[in-house]
Amino acid sequence: MIRALSALARPWLSRLPPESAHRAAIAALKFMPRSPTTAPDYRLAFDALGLRFAHPLGLAAGFDKNAEVPDALLALGFSFVEVGTLTPLPQGGNAKPRLFRLPADAALVNRMGFNNDGFEAALARLTARATSGILSVNFGPNKDASDRIADYVLGVKTFAAAASWFTINISSPNTAGLRDLQRRDALGELVARVIEAREAVRPRRPVLIKIAPDLDLRGLDDIVEVATSRGADGLIVSNTTISRPSTLRDPRSRETGGLSGRPLFPASTQLLARAYLRAGGALALIGCGGIEDSATALAKIQAGATLLQLYTSFVYRGPEVIDDILDGLSAAVSTSGAQSIASLVGAQARDFAAATRTGAPRGWA
């Protein structure tokens, strides 16, 4: 029923300006009946971050920035939803237009700039939740914060009771200087203060760091080293890219902002594999960037992801993308002869780590 309605609505939504279509989708989700989803294949279940996931596929940050519809999104079939990025105070974000569709490239470019309702409004919504599905809260600093790290620390204190884990977003390209927090010294101080705050609140929640796909190997090494030595629990690899692969066809690719979707897949998957090989199991890795079907989802797992997130393919394909991916992952488990999807994690990390940024390793679907 929901899928049929969504299939009917999509041609209409795709004719609206992208931000209006997004607002319409959130409004529709508020009224969506919560029919129970069919139980996924038990072989797709995962234990990670001290939690039991019915399957690895979640929704990435940015779709439900203000925690308006997390339970409707869980009811569509995602095993977890990340809300945010939230900042302590509400802020309007960048001037519109700031979100662009690149249909020929199965991609989006956005320069939203952390438009959101602020911690207080989101916390009120999360506290009123009736269900307990897995939900992470992604936060970042206000644009004009005088102490950016203090904004992250406040996020930990604010959302301890409401979040299954915290995601520290230091990789959005649309807040000037934010990605400087990925540098070794700044990151060391940020993670130390966030972990100190996390240890002081109950319940104790995992802390994940969301990184950019544009890091070089040295930058990645620094992040893995700081994350493991300071007690972070995992990485989300990755956010959108500021690079523009030469394969892009849509003229809107020249818009300033972060590129997501299909063209992001090679770089984000290579970085994920490199993080897997460097972290040696010490960090949970969430693979994100260009997942659009079961082949790309499986590739992320083989590159080293324990969990997956997507955004852009949900915009283009709607909720069907969830069923398609889960069916394909079940088939992949059967074909491989493995007991579960968990045993495929990292199985091809070396191939994916060695791939050139635009090329593809052997077996790249």
Our finding on whether 93 is near ligand FMN (CB under 6 A) is no
Determine which residue in the list 58, 289, 304, 361 makes contact with ligand FMN, applying CB under 6 A.
Answer: 289
Our finding on whether 261 is near ligand FMN (CB under 6 A) is yes
At residue 94's C-alpha, the angle toward residues 148 and 84, to 5°, is 55
Our finding on whether 245 is near ligand FMN (CB under 6 A) is no
Using alpha carbons, select from 209, 216, 181 the residue that is nearest to residue 195: 209
CB of 313 to ligand FMN, least distance (A): 6
Residue among 141 and 290 whose Cβ is closer to ligand FMN: 290
Residue among 172 and 270 whose Cβ is closer to ligand FMN: 172
Q: How many residues does the chain have?
A: 365
Residue among 261 and 337 whose Cβ is closer to ligand FMN: 261
Give Cα separations from 115 to 157, 176, 196, 242 (angstroms). Answer: 21, 14, 28, 19
Our finding on whether 209 is near ligand FMN (CB under 6 A) is no
- Residues 340-359: x/- map of binding to ligand FMN (CB under 6 A)? --------------------
E strands along 275-339, which residues? Answer: 284-288, 307-310
Give the integer Cα–Cα distance in Å for 288 and 261: 9
Q: Strands 134-139, 165-169: parallel, antiparallel or unpaired by DSSP?
A: parallel
State phi, psi for 229 to the nearest 5 degrees. -70, -30
Our finding on whether 296 is near ligand FMN (CB under 6 A) is no
For residue 320, how many other CB atoms are within 10 A of its CB?
15
Determine which residue in the list 62, 70, 245, 266 makes contact with ligand FMN, applying CB under 6 A.
Answer: 62
Give the integer Cα–Cα distance in Å for 308 and 269: 11
Our finding on whether 260 is near ligand FMN (CB under 6 A) is yes
Q: Quick one: which segment of 43-51, 177-185, 283-291, 350-358 binds ligand FMN (CB under 6 A)?
A: 283-291
Q: Is 330 a catalytic residue?
A: no
Using alpha carbons, select from 111, 200, 101, 122 the residue that is nearest to residue 157: 200
Q: Looking at residues 110 to 149 of the shown chain, list those that interact with ligand FMN (rule: CB under 6 A).
A: 110, 112, 138
Given 164, 172, 238, 313, the catalytic residue: 172
Question: How would you label 198-213 residue by residue, b for 16+ Cβ within 10 Å and e otherwise?
Answer: beeeeeebbbbbbbbb
Our finding on whether 288 is near ligand FMN (CB under 6 A) is yes
# residues near ligand FMN by CB under 6 A: 27
**Could you tell me the two tokens for 162?**
């409401």
Q: Looking at residues 156 to 185 of the shown chain, list those that interact with ligand FMN (rule: CB under 6 A).
A: 169, 172
The residue number with the shortest CB distance to ligand FMN is: 62
Given the rule CB under 6 A, which residues bind ligand FMN? 60-62, 65, 84-85, 99, 108, 110, 112, 138, 169, 172, 210, 239-240, 260-261, 264, 288-291, 310-313
List the catalytic residues.
172
